[in-house]
Amino acid sequence: MKPIQRTTAGIVMMLAIIPVFAGLLACMPVPIGNPERSRIDAEISGVWAWEADGDAGELYLFQPYDKRTWLVIGAAVEAGPEYTGEPLDIETARDTFRVLGSHEVGKDGITSPGTVAYKVWLTRLAGEHFMTWEPVGGFSGDGSHVPEYWFVWRLEKRDRDRFDLYLVNGEHEAFEEVSERMNAYIQEHEFADDKEYLRYLQKMRPKWERALGRVAGRVDDEDLYGDATSFTRVPDELMETASELFEEVIDFD
């Protein structure tokens, strides 16, 4: 078998909910770092609002899955179907907090139309910290659940209430050689099943990591790293509303 090719439906749904990922070509075809050898940063656990380039309006729950990884769940903040108030005008994390503090959750208030989920872990390369997001919950028509892509970010912690992520461009020239080699192999070989394909990805992972490690310190390289996506911790007084918003798309009971 060839690697499973997803339909575009799932990708379009993800982009509708999480517009910060619109640069889909920046994704990585292999995961970076080994989640079995990672350790979560306890300060990052919790609920965060993101903003990027004048766009905001999503919350992310970083829930520790174990000592090594997080389950990260995203939920958009939107006006409910029967909302009749003023436009929400959410452009910054502060706007997100304003809306959470001034609107009730429900069809005539604010709601979340859908959610996305990721397995997330940390790794360090060449003195830089990276965070890998692996999409979970999707599968193809034949039942395969191997991701087509991974989001890999360079992490900068500002303080305990804010961190910034810079998306790594998987099409940067630093990855050209390993990418061509990998694509040629995939085109020429058949994989018996998902397990065999995943073993191949794990075999290729160190090669991608070495390529990234050689350029990781180029923090001002705009072709390598995207603009900052900032995450600001949701204040304690807004946590109850944030919890109700997540319950619009996830049944915690």
How does pLDDT run across 138-181, given as a tens digit for each residue?
Answer: 766 666 778 888 999 999 999 999 999 999 999 999 999 999 99
pLDDT at 69: 98
Where helices occur in 151-233 by DSSP H, the ranges are 176-188, 194-215
pLDDT of the residue at 146: 81
Q: pLDDT by residue (tens digit) across 42-80? A: 999 999 999 998 899 999 999 999 999 999 999 999 999
- Mean pLDDT taken over the chain: 89
Of 151-155, 187-191, 194-198, 248-252, which range is least confident?
248-252
CA-based nearest residue to 151, from 133, 166, 164 = 133
Q: Average pLDDT, stretch 188-195?
A: 89
Q: What is the average pLDDT across 18-39?
A: 77
Check residue 141 and give its pLDDT.
Answer: 64
CB atoms within 10 A of CB 96: 25
More confidently predicted of 222 and 15: 222
- Kindly list the domain boundaries of the chain, sorted by start residue: 8-246
Separation of alpha carbons 250 and 253, rounded Å = 9
Q: Round to whole Å and give the CA distance between 168 and 215.
A: 11
Q: Please give the C-alpha separations between residue 241 and each of 51, 59, 198, in angstroms, as whole numbers.
A: 19, 11, 40
What's the mean pLDDT in 123-147?
A: 86
The model carries a pTM of 0.90
Q: Which amino acid is at 42?
A: A
Mean pLDDT of 234-238: 98
